A and B are shown apart, each in its own frame.
Chain A
Amino acid sequence: MTRTDKNPESGRPVAVSVRGLVKHFGETKALDGVDLDVHEGTVLGVLGPNGAGKTTLVRCLSTLITPDAGQAVVAGYDVVRQPRQLRRVIGLTGQYASVDEKLSGRENLYLIGRLLDLSRKEARSRADALLERFSLTDAATRPARTYSGGMRRRLDLAASMIGRPHVLYLDEPTTGLDPRTRNEVWAEVTHMVREGVTVLLTTQYMEEAEQLASELTVIDRGRVIANGGIDELKAKVGGRTLRIRPADPLQLHPLAQALEQHRPGGPVPAVPTESGEVLVPIVSDDQLTAVVAEVTARGVTIGSISVELPSLDEVFLSLTGEKASAPQQAAPELEEVAV
């Protein structure tokens, strides 16, 4: 994927527009005046910790719950006043795969097709096409409860795609998946975006947002605390960390010292760790290149090397100066999961 894919597309028309959205559950302000825009054909990442209000936002935007105040317009339809028309143009994939476990993959998709008013024939051919597209043809006749986690998530995505939705909501689509399955889901999402779907993605992982989203809205306790292009925000939160492990542990300290003295590519310190790695904060691609060049120039054999994105905690720390609000009280459970 190239970087140009991911530039903020603020020039494009708006597919989802949310202003001042409020939803309270008793005393808990799950959404406390949220504003955001998703532009046509792009992915907006909504990043936030557990209990930030992400799921409540998605549930409001998919007409599962009614907001207490504010306005939300999706593909030209108002969530409160035109729920039925809106439901025709959205797809929803929640945290928990919402497929019927007792039905086969094909029957699941056929059912959704019929509920979306496709004729029997259309529903059947659409189901088969999507099974093929999501590599589920071999498992088409098996009950969904026999599927692996990844297959189930793919079936869920396929079910969301039956109505050729204009806007797709992905609510923490990879939470609880192993890394390989997560990559599969990411690939599918990227594929769908290329086909022109607009996506609102909620996630707890900076890495997922960076993989998929071009723009990012960071929310915490029902409020937007930052939004903008992903690169913009990444620059703001301090970017990445380079971890180098010299193959020979004896070279650890000399390498750290050399990088500390010369500071290739910029005035950034290098820190040796007890686990035998040197950590270098990276602010630009040029600096990254310069540091790696310096390491090779010194003839150090690299045992392992990795570039890490800031964790959600670090993002929050740099945006708000405080830690991501831990799921305090028992409230998040109440907010995030259907009550």
Chain B
Amino acid sequence: MSTATLSPTAPTITIEADPKISLRGHIRHTGALIRRNLLWIKQDPESMMDAVLMPVIFTLLFVYVFGGSIGQALGGGQSAYVQYVIPGMVAMMSMNIAQGVGTGFNEDFNKGIMDRFRSLPIGRGSVLVAKISVELVRLLVAVTIQMVVALLVGFDINGHWLGLLAAVGLTALFGSAIMWIFLVLGVTMKNAQSVQAMGFLVMMPLQFGSSIFAPTNSMPGWLESFTKYNPMSGLADASRGLMTGGPIAHGLTVTLAWTIGLTLAMAPVAIRKFTRKA
């Protein structure tokens, strides 16, 4: 049926291996993409609502609704509960903020801009790293607000400022590990709503089945064992230790183990899914 003849074989070409992208190139690309994600926040300040309001609402709710009675069990009162729950809240931010990374990423894929990025000569990891960096900025904003509210409701840092910094660092570290999971969800799930629903399903048991809000020793045995190795407990215990001068060894070990494990397991999956998504 063909009316024009094509040469039978493709022209022979000399194949030079693709040059690697330089470190400076990676930094430039990631920087440009970080700028893009920051401009999003500027365009749409409401996207910061969760980071700004969640710490406020959660703190007021838990301190004033449950604080009195749980505080009694702790052998103090509401003020004892403030000392207990605030470090846990800082830990909790890691997960709540990380969730946003999945929905934003999913929207990108559904909008076609991802095709544009993937047809450009950039390292495909830059898009992921930029996204994670900006979410870490959001996390820091959330934690800062959390601490301001904490001091207002009477949290006593008692000189553990370095401990606070370490706790924030640990939260950010764990948060970045969690983000890889949400990146995978973001690439795999059909739409932003399902990412959110799935995220909720994962987060609820991890957050409430932990030592974030209440001590675990009154929980039934099976739940207590679960909380012992639940990374959210680990992170909450570690930041509690760091911010109030208590024991940190177990919590720190559990948190670091999860952080390393999750990153090693999920980062390659996220990158592969992202690269292959077609």
Contact = CB atoms under 8 A, between A and B. Distances in A.
Nearest to A235: B3
B120 A116 contact: yes
Interface string B29-41: 1011101100110
Interface in A60-89: 62-66, 71-73, 76-78, 81-85, 87-88
Interface in B1-32: 1-4, 6-7, 9-11, 13, 15-19, 21, 25, 28-29, 31-32
B278 A87 contact: no
B109 interface: yes
A115 interface: yes
A101 B40 CA distance: 10
B28 A227 contact: no
Contacts of B16: 82, 85
Interface stretch (B111-119, B254-262, B264-272): B111-119
Contact of B19 (A73, A85, A229): A85
Nearest to B36: A111
Contacts of B217: none
Interface residues of B, number: 43
A103 B43 contact: yes
Nearest to A60: B278
B43 A78 contact: no
A17 B2 contact: no
Contacts of A84: 18-19, 21, 121
Interface in B48-92: none
Contact of A35 (B3, B6, B11): B6
B3 A236 contact: yes
A37 B278 CA distance: 24
Contacts of A8: 4
B28 to A, nearest CB: 6
A320 B1 CA distance: 9
Contacts of A82: 15-18
Interface string A301-339: 000000000000000000110000000000000000011
A227 B4 CA distance: 6
A18 B28 CA distance: 34
Interface string A177-216: 0000000000000000000000000000000000000010
B189 interface: no
Given A17-B11, A98-B115, A143-B43, A338 B278 contact: yes
A295 interface: no
Contacts of B39: 102-103, 107
Interface in A223-244: 224-229, 232-233, 236
B15 A94 contact: no
Contacts of A226: 1-3
A8 B3 CA distance: 12
A24 interface: no
B1 A225 contact: yes
Contacts of A35: 6
A230 to B, nearest CB: 11
A87 B2 CA distance: 31
Instruction: Pick from B3, B119, B278 the residue with the most CB of A within 10 Å.
Output: B119
B13 A338 contact: no
A158 interface: no
B115 A94 contact: yes
B2 A114 contact: no
B122 interface: yes
A215 B11 contact: no
Nearest to B31: A114
A226 B277 CA distance: 32
Contact of B119 (A92, A111, A117): A92
Contacts of B36: 100, 103, 107, 111
Nearest to A236: B3
A139 interface: no
A210 to B, nearest CB: 16
A159 B29 contact: no
A112 interface: yes
A36 interface: yes
A219 to B, nearest CB: 11
A10 B4 CA distance: 9
A96 to B, nearest CB: 4
A308 B181 CA distance: 55
A112 B120 contact: yes
A271 interface: no
Given A14-B11, A87-B121, A338-B277, A102 B115 contact: no
A101 B39 CA distance: 11
Given A10-B4, A87-B119, A228-B4, 8 more contacts: A62-B119, A82-B16, A102-B39, A102-B40, A226-B3, A232-B3, A319-B1, A338-B115
22 contacts: A17-B11, A36-B6, A62-B119, A81-B17, A81-B18, A82-B16, A84-B19, A84-B21, A85-B16, A87-B120, A98-B114, A100-B113, A102-B39, A102-B44, A107-B36, A111-B35, A111-B36, A116-B120, A117-B25, A225-B1, A319-B1, A338-B277
